């Protein structure tokens, strides 16, 4: 019963994904100045936007990596990479942007992501007359597409495509390096307490697979489910990888887990930390995240 | 005259109970227009319940109460409040109000549909306060008053309704002897000068006998006796109601009965 | 005696205070716009596009929403206090706001979208949730026959906890992306709502307040206790039903747009009662004006403290309200015990 419904669920999800992919792929490019974003919203943007507000760290990183950092006039409180981004005017948090702060920067383009920003905020900014371009990076492919899309909107399509080609090449190299090796069972910890792990269809789950591991939470129906420690014990992960933010050590983050002696990963010290900002941001540093994961999962094959 | 006018209240086989216990078990009696009726009887004999039934707070489970010939259920609440006013024994106020505000509330049934009182309402309220002797307490908060003053303020509110019938629950319980005398005098005057019908509950058998034209003696939710004070304040009758021997003397020359107390 | 004239004068005074608070709210924000430019924009003579958009499209609807929500919640609080004869009652304490929040969350998930119909639908769902919660509290509290203070508060706390548990359940079962702004909205915020939301709140608040005010004198009599009210000619059941529904309507339409904002409905009526007395005919208009002023000021503060980010306005009201609530509880209980 459960297996059957899960099967149907995944089939429906696949169908929806395909349909969405089809829609976005086939949408016409539009007339000059008119574009369609990744949610299928049509909007008019200036030929060469000069005053851009970014509403998420991954977007800020993308703009900088394309060499257009000087066109950003506003970023969120969480945009800390590259370091010069922290010197840009702030417009508030990802989920608590100040509309007034955004407006007073007089942007000619706002870029948002459906994965972190609220639909209500996008709607409100649009109703205030601002062109808001929304990207939708949910997995590996859509993250690459998001970079290309941002490149197109910035008038940097060629640079973005080159970047994406390079990223694919690096990802393929890692895939070749880990090919044929046994696939260790990996528990990735997005947040330790309460325990939140990546579920089905998320970028993190896909990165773990591409790094030669098998995520023990890859079949969870919710993207970021909250799990019990019991589930972790029962799934017997070979490796535990913790996304770290800031200064906390892995030991601090997993305090209390040492008594879970039955998990071989915990018992034998196969618990690793990776930079959470790297892994959790669907942006141009995704390949670095992939490499960091592969180094932990297959240290013998990925230096 | 009494033959042509229907009684103010006519109760027939009224039964009422709540909390699993009978408060009234088949009471039948009339209250004639212009009479003073005293409700007496031991604790939880059904006196206060009866007042609530007469003021339509409760509805009888069985039997019927008529008000001036009409079943009381068919009399609108506002119409009834213009005719019948109640002086409760005590009232727990949720918020602080002044005596004047309290008495003005008695004008509610008279000011139908109006959100605010008119000048006339204030005049009627002042009259009522004068009658009850609380005019100079007008600005005082009710919860700061002594028990007797509060009882008189509640009387003033009832009088502000300009009722034809006054129901009082233990009106003298907080009054000293002087104020008891004032109240009795006032009720008599209202009865004689305005033809006001008065129904009151009292524990004080002598005061009840002094004030009332007739007494209704209740016990265990049943009517033990309805009659003149002479008939009701009788040692045998009272013993039946209270369940203990009672000492009653008759004062010469009128023969007025006085309850001296329990025979020990 | 409370006269129309006295009510009119008092209303004019609080309206003046509200106007001052509103101007303060309109003149405050991260965008550098001088008070003169704010006034110019208000009268349609904006000196720049930025000033026009910021003042007319961002600050004005926000100040209007704060005023309507503050006034409406305070009136709802005063109404619940009169109904329950208990000065500690308010939509949040009684769990009614929790019911409205659950209704709104379900409405959001059911028919998310930007249409006017969706705004109305979510408000209707929140109203229904508020009614369910209010009825539940009432049934729990009167199960024993009477309505003592402690039982009522306990029933409210139970209902509130239950509804917030259901909200947590819904939130943890649903995909994060689908939740959208709900998580932020649940903390109470006035920021995202445009004129469409303001219009819905204005309509609901006006109707709800008018319904409550029409019963103002009857509510005064209910404060004497139900028995005395009945004997004075008040159709107590009908009055209670009307006010019950009206207060739930106020709570529902407001919570649907702003999320739960606590303490306004509690501290404003109580503070105002200390000044103007308990007569609802005078109390309710002053409470409406004072509640509106309070929330406009609280929201101005919420926008100011951590610029350009914003505090949820409920944080500000809670910081003012929680200590006041404890004070009320202590004095009230002391009086009861002595």
DSSP string for C70-81: HHHHHHHHHHHH
pLDDT value at position B109? 94
Task: Kindly report the nearest CA distance between residue C79 and chain B, in angstroms.
Answer: 13
Contact B96 C234 (CB under 8 A): no
Instruction: Kindly state whether A129 is in contact with chain C, defined as any CB-CB distance less than 8 angstroms.
Output: yes
Across the interface, of C172, C181, C303, the residue whose CB is closest to A121 is: C181
Which residues does residue A92 pair with via DSSP β-bridges, in sequence order?
A97
Chain B CB contacts of C209 under 8 Å are: none
Task: Decide which of B51 and A11 is more confident.
Answer: B51
Number of helical H runs and strand E runs in chain C: 16, 0
Chain B CB contacts of C221 under 8 Å are: 105, 108
**Whole-angstrom distance, CA of residue A44 vs CA of residue C166:** 42
- How far is the CA of B221 from the CAs of B15, B37, B53, B203, B215, in angstroms? 9, 17, 13, 16, 15
pLDDT value at position C118? 79
- CB within 8 Å of chain C, chain A residues 48-107: 77, 90-93, 95-96, 98-101, 103-104, 106
Walk along chain A (303 residues) and give the pLDDT tens digit of each residue. 333 333 444 444 444 444 444 344 333 333 448 999 999 999 999 988 999 999 999 999 999 999 999 999 999 999 999 999 999 999 988 888 889 899 999 999 999 999 888 888 898 899 889 999 999 999 999 999 999 999 999 999 999 999 999 999 999 999 999 999 999 999 999 988 778 899 998 999 999 999 999 999 999 888 888 888 778 778 888 899 999 887 677 777 777 676 666 677 777 778 888 999 899 999 999 999 999 999 999 999 987
pLDDT value at position C113? 53
Across the interface, of A98, A104, A118, the residue whose CB is closest to C180 is: A118
Walk along chain C (338 residues) and give the pLDDT tens digit of each residue. 788 899 999 999 999 999 999 999 999 888 888 889 999 999 988 888 888 888 998 899 999 999 999 999 999 999 999 888 887 888 988 899 999 999 988 888 776 455 777 788 889 999 999 999 988 887 877 665 555 666 777 888 888 999 999 988 888 777 665 666 677 777 777 877 788 889 999 999 999 999 999 999 999 999 898 899 999 999 988 998 899 899 999 999 999 999 889 889 988 998 898 888 889 999 999 999 999 999 999 999 988 887 777 788 888 998 888 887 777 767 765 554 33
Q: How many CB atoms lie within 10 A of CB A14?
A: 11
Question: A touches which chains (3+ CB pairs under 8 A)?
Answer: C
Contacts of C248 by beta carbon, 8 Å cutoff, 6+ apart: C76, C96, C100, C127, C130, C131, C134
**Mean pLDDT calculated for residue range B137-162:** 93
pLDDT value at position A244? 87
Q: Pairing between strand A52-54 and A72-74? A: parallel
- How far is the CA of C264 from the CAs of A131, A210, C92, C209, C313, in angstroms? 37, 53, 9, 16, 11
Q: How many CB atoms lie within 10 A of CB B116?
A: 16
**Mean pLDDT calculated for residue range B239-244:** 90
Contacts of A64 by beta carbon, 8 Å cutoff, 6+ apart: A72, A81, A82, A84, A85
- Site from C29, C30, C259, C299 to mutate, A interface, most A CB atoms within 10 angstroms: C30
Chain A CB contacts of C176 under 8 Å are: 223-224
């Amino acid at each position: 019963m459960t297996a059957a419904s899960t099967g149907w669920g995944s089939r429906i999800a696949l169908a929806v994904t395909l349909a969405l992919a089809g829609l976005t792929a086939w949408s016409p490019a539009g007339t000059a100045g008119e574009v369609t974003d990744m949610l299928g919203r049509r909007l008019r943007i200036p030929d060469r936007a000069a005053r851009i507000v970014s509403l998420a760290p991954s977007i800020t990183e993308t703009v900088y990596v394309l060499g257009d950092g000087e066109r950003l006039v506003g970023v969120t409180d969480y945009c800390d990479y590259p370091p010069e981004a922290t010197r840009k005017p702030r417009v508030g948090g990802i989920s608590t942007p100040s509309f007034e702060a955004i407006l007073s920067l007089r942007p000619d383009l706002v870029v948002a992501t459906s994965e972190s920003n609220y639909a209500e905020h996008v709607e409100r900014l649009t109703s205030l007359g601002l062109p808001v371009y929304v990207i939708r990076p949910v997995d590996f492919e859509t993250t690459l597409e998001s970079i290309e899309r941002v490149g197109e909107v910035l008038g940097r399509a060629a640079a973005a495509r080159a970047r994406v080609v390079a990223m694919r090449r690096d990802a393929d190299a890692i895939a070749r390096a880990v090919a044929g090796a046994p696939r260790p069972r990996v528990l990735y910890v997005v947040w330790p307490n309460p325990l939140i792990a990546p579920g089905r269809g998320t970028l993190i789950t896909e990165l773990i697979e591409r790094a030669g591991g098998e995520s023990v939470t890859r079949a969870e129906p919710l993207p970021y489910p909250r799990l019990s420690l019991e589930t972790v014990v029962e799934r017997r992960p070979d490796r535990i990888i913790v996304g770290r933010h800031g200064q906390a050590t892995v030991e601090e983050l997993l305090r209390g887990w040492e008594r879970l002696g039955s998990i071989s990963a915990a018992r034998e010290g196969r618990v690793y930390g990776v930079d959470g900002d790297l892994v959790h941001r669907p942006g141009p540093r995704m390949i670095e995240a992939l490499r960091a994961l592969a180094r932990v999962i297959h240290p013998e094959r990925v230096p | 005259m009494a033959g042509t006018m229907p009684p103010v209240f006519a109760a027939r086989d009224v039964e009422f109970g709540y909390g699993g216990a009978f408060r009234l078990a088949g009471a039948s009696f009339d209250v004639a227009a212009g009479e003073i009726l005293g409700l007496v009887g031991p604790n939880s004999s059904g006196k206060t319940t009866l007042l609530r039934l007469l003021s339509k707070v409760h509805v009888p489970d069985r039997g019927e109460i008529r008000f001036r010939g009409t079943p009381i259920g068919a009399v609108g609440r506002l119409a009834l409040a213009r005719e019948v006013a109640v002086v409760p024994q005590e009232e727990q106020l949720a918020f602080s109000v002044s005596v004047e505000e309290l008495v003005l509330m008695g004008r509610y049934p008279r000011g139908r549909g109006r959100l605010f009182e008119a000048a006339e309402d204030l005049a009627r309220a002042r009259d009522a306060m004068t009658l009850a002797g609380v005019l100079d307490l007008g600005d005082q908060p009710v919860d700061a008053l002594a028990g007797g003053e509060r009882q008189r303020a509640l009387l003033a509110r009832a009088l502000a309704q300009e009722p034809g019938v006054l129901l009082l629950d233990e009106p003298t319980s907080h009054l000293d002897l002087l104020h008891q005398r004032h109240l009795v005098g006032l009720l008599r005057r209202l009865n004689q000068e305005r033809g006001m019908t008065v129904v009151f509950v009292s524990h004080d058998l002598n005061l009840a006998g002094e004030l009332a034209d007739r007494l209704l003696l209740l016990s265990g939710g049943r009517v033990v006796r309805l009659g003149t004070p002479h008939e009701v304040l009788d040692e045998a009758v009272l013993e039946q109601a209270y369940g203990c021997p009672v000492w009653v003397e008759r004062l010469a020359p009128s023969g007025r009965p006085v309850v001296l107390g329990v025979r020990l | 005696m409370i006269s129309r004239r006295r009510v009119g004068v008092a209303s004019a005074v609080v309206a003046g205070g509200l106007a001052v608070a509103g101007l303060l709210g309109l003149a405050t924000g991260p965008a550098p716009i001088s008070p003169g430019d704010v006034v110019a924009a208000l009268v349609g003579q904006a000196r720049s596009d930025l000033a026009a958009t910021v003042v007319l499209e961002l600050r004005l609807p926000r100040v209007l929403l704060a005023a309507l929500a503050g006034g409406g919640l305070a009136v709802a609080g005063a109404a619940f206090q009169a109904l329950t004869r208990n000065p500690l009652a308010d939509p949040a304490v009684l769990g009614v706001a929790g019911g409205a929040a659950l209704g709104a969350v379900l409405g959001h998930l059911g028919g998310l979208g930007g249409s006017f119909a969706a705004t109305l639908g979510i408000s209707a769902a929140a109203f229904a949730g508020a009614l369910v919660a209010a009825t539940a509290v009432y049934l729990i509290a009167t199960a024993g026959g009477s309505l003592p203070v402690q039982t009522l508060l306990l029933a409210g706390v139970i209902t509130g906890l239950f509804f917030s548990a259901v909200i947590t359940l819904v939130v943890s079962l649903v995909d994060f992306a689908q939740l959208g702004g709900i998580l932020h909205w649940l903390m109470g915020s006035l920021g995202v709502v445009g004129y469409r939301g303001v219009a819905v709140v204005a309509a609901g608040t006006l109707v709800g307040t008018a319904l409550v005010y029409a019963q103002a004198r009857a509510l005064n009599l209910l404060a004497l206790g139900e028995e005395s009210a009945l004997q004075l000619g008040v159709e107590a059941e009908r009055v209670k039903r009307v006010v019950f529904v009206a207060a739930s309507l106020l709570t529902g339409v407001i919570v649907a747009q702003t999320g739960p904002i606590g303490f306004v409905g509690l501290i404003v009526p109580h503070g105002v009662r200390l000044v103007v007395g308990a007569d609802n005919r005078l109390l309710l208009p002053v409470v409406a004006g004072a509640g509106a002023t309070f929330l406009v000021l609280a929201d101005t503060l919420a926008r100011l403290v951590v610029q350009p980010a914003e505090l949820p306005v409920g944080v500000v009201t809670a910081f003012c309200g929680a200590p006041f609530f404890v004070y009320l509880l202590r004095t009230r209980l002391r009086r009861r015990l002595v």
